């Protein structure tokens, strides 16, 4: 980490000596492993260590950004000089520049984002595990005789950041994933399913047996699926699909989109949009969560930001530039190349998913969505889907080849129940939730 921080400091100093008025640099080392199997064959095996340096320089507001993997003294010097040279040809922007306030990141150790077991685990053990996943899904039911692959992967990232205003910081993070994608025979049809687990440490992952069993159960559960009738019904989004819906909401909350008129939330801060069940939070400091970090890509300390509070929009999410443009402070959401989530999530409710289903007399339980069709200005939402029909509070039969549609502001207003199954296994996560009514387009 000291070596990486030295590289970042050196890049900043070189930028200032070359004529930049402000500069920042991020040095990183990323160690990755991934293996994938199909049946007994290892179809993919990757192991790599990547080193990179990214710089952002300003000359009186004119900005240039460059990155390199050549961290030698000559490579560093050449890249920094090119970045400064490019900035001289860029139009000046009075809003450009480094943050004025970086906040206090606090101790990295309290975030619990790095665990030694990720690097310590032997490659042979991970390879054996993907084969076990393949064996387990096939043993679950003879109809599962194929898969789109089982995968085990992990990564360790070391990050060091420095800028010309005196801010320096560094941290190390780890992550691990195990998942599988069984394919079941259903007459002439094939039923695909996927399930996985992700965490900062292998110790926090769901077991190999749990992952394989849930994935296989979902594949077999879709056998005999039929197309539902076209109607309007309550819709329950399973937590992974619910997270994808929140991804569309995040796009509308992104201050860069707000600034250019590409959001249905423009001018609506302080307005009640969602139901009482909708409290949306972005929190970059949740221990062990996969989106947690001490500071963002600009060095601004991450924080907890309440975005929607019981249905009322409280704020957009900003980096420094768009905060200045819209008259707000950065929320610590700068990402390399834009504005991104840290841990963006819907606050969990008290009921279990099973209780949500039991309290739904007739409806649709969505397990997967297909395709992409969302429009940020109007909030129009439409997805192909598959899942289960709910009748008399029970999962009655599988359904496929239908479309769910609505408008995101209407969907937020119609969330009438939220489950307690939230887990922080990505940068955008959600518990399962129910929308009181949506259009189902089928037969």
Q: Are residues 297 and 357 in the same domain?
A: yes
Q: Are residues 278 and 360 in the same domain?
A: yes
pLDDT, residue 237, reads 98
Q: Are residues 170 and 285 in the same domain?
A: no
Q: Domain of 36: which CATH number?
A: 3.30.2290.10
In this structure, what are the phi and psi dihedrals at residue 276, rounded to the nearest 5 degrees? -60, -25
Among 221, 242, 265, identify where a domain stops: 221
pLDDT, residue 337, reads 80
**28: which strand partners?**
52, 159
Helix H segments across 306-423? Answer: 320-326, 353-358, 408-413
pLDDT, residue 399, reads 97
Q: Are residues 236 and 215 in the same domain?
A: no
Among 168, 192, 221, identify where a domain stops: 221
Assigned domain for 245 exists: yes
CA distance 32 to 37: 17
CA distance 207 to 33: 19
Q: Are residues 214 and 239 in the same domain?
A: no
Q: Are residues 381 and 235 in the same domain?
A: yes
Element (H, E) at 106: none
CA distance 122 to 118: 9
pLDDT, residue 106, reads 80
Among 221, 244, 272, identify where a domain stops: 221
Q: Are residues 153 and 18 in the same domain?
A: yes
Q: Are residues 265 and 189 in the same domain?
A: no
pLDDT, residue 375, reads 83
Q: Are residues 190 and 253 in the same domain?
A: no
Assigned domain for 226 exists: no
Total tally of structural domains belonging to the chain? 2
- What secondary structure, in 3-state letters, does 20-45 show? CCEEEEEEEEEEEEEEEEECCEEEEE
Q: Are residues 215 and 285 in the same domain?
A: no
- 439 in helix, strand or coil? strand
Q: Are residues 206 and 302 in the same domain?
A: no
pLDDT tens for the chain, 443 residues long, are 889 999 999 999 999 999 999 999 999 999 999 999 999 999 999 999 999 999 999 999 999 999 999 999 999 999 999 999 999 999 999 999 999 999 888 889 999 999 999 999 999 999 999 999 999 999 999 999 999 999 999 999 999 999 999 999 999 999 999 999 999 999 999 999 999 999 999 999 999 999 999 999 999 999 999 999 999 999 999 999 999 999 999 999 999 999 999 999 999 999 999 999 999 999 999 999 999 999 999 999 999 999 999 999 999 999 999 999 999 999 999 998 899 999 999 999 999 999 999 999 999 999 999 877 678 899 999 999 999 999 999 999 999 999 999 999 999 999 999 999 999 999 999 999 999 999 999 88
pLDDT, residue 371, reads 79
Q: Which domain holds residue 31?
A: 2-221
């Amino acid at each position: 980490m000291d070596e990486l921080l030295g590289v970042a400091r050196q890049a900043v100093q070189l930028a200032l000596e070359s004529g930049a008025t402000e500069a920042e640099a991020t040095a990183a080392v990323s160690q990755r492993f991934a293996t994938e199997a199909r049946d007994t064959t290892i179809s993919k095996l990757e192991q790599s260590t990547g080193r990179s340096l990214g710089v952002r320089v300003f000359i009186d507001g004119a900005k240039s950004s460059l990155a390199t993997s050549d961290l030698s003294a000559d490579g560093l010097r050449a890249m920094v000089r090119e970045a400064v040279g490019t900035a001289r040809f860029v139009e000046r922007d009075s809003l450009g520049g480094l943050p004025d306030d970086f906040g206090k990141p606090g101790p990295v150790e309290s975030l619990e984002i790095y665990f030694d077991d990720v690097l310590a685990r032997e490659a042979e053990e991970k390879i054996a595990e993907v084969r076990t996943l393949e064996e387990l899904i096939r043993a679950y039911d003879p109809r599962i005789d194929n898969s789109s692959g089982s995968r085990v992967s992990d990564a360790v990232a070391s990050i060091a950041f420095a800028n010309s205003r005196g801010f320096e910081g560094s941290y190390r993070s780890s992550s691990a994933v195990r998942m599988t994608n069984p394919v079941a025979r259903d007459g002439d049809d094939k039923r695909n399913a996927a399930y996985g687990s992700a965490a900062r440490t292998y110790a926090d992952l769901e077991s190999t047996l749990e992952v394989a069993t849930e994935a296989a159960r979902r594949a077999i559960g879709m056998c005999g699926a039929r197309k539902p009738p076209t109607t309007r019904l309550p819709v329950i989004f399973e937590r992974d699909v619910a997270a994808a819906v929140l991804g569309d909401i995040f796009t509308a909350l992104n201050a860069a989109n707000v600034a250019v008129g590409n959001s249905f939330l423009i001018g609506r801060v302080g307005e009640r949009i969602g139901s009482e069940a909708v409290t949306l939070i972005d929190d970059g400091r949740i221990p062990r969560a996969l989106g947690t970090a001490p500071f963002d890509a600009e060095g601004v300390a991450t924080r907890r930001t309440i975005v929607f509070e019981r249905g009322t929009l409280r704020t957009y999410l900003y980096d420094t530039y768009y905060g200045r443009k819209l008259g707000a402070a950065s929320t610590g959401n700068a990402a390399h190349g834009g504005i991104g989530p840290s841990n963006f999530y819907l606050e969990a409710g008290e009921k279990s998913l099973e209780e949500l289903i039991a309290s739904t007399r007739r409806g649709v339980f969505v397990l997967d969505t297909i395709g992409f069709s969302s429009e940020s200005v109007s909030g129009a939402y439409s997805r192909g889907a598959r899942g289960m029909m709910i009748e008399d509070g029970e999962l009655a039969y599988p359904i496929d080849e239908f479309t769910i549609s609505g408008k995101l502001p209407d969907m937020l207003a119609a969330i009438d129940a939220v489950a307690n199954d939230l887990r922080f296994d990505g940068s955008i996560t959600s518990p399962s939730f129910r929308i009181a009514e949506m259009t189902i387009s089928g037969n």
